[in-house]
Amino acid sequence: MRIVKCSLIPRGWCVNLFGTFWAADTDWLDSYVINHERIHTAQQRELLFIPFYLLYLIEFCVRWCQYRNRDTAYRNISFEREAYTNGPNLDYLTHRPRYSWLRYLHKPQSPSSM
């Protein structure tokens, strides 16, 4: 995965666009964060990138209407749930079945369990 420093990205944030990881600084990036982003890259590739971004935005809007809280909505996007759940497992991508994010689609977390 290519990591690019970009001053346009707020500090402490990162963006994965088409398999390239953009961040204002890289000092805080650890193996967990990088693996989390690699999971997103796998999701993007299997959906041919543009559909990934469309589905991500649609699901965020649905979750925001459901929870009325931006952070809770973000944490419950199926793509994020797969990446957060499996980010610590550095071997996850070696055995990850395609479209694994689908199993996180219908099981949203309650706000109290976050």
* Positive/negative CA dihedral, 33, 71, 14, 12: negative
Kindly provide the b/e burial profile for residues 59-94, where b requires at least 16 CB atoms within 10 angstroms of the residue's own CB: bbeebbeebeeeebbebbbbbbbbbbebbeeeebee
Q: For a pLDDT cut of 70, what percent of the chain falls above it?
A: 93
Backbone Cα Rg of the chain: 14
pLDDT, average across residues 27-43: 95
pLDDT, average across residues 36-45: 97
Which residues make Cβ contacts (< 8 Å) with residue 4, sequence separation at least 6?
20, 21, 22, 23
Is residue 22's pLDDT more than 80?
yes
pLDDT, average across residues 22-49: 95
Tokens 């099981």 found at: 107
Phi and psi for 110 in degrees, rounded to 5?
Answer: -80, 150
With residue 2 as reference, give the H or E element that holds it. strand 2-5
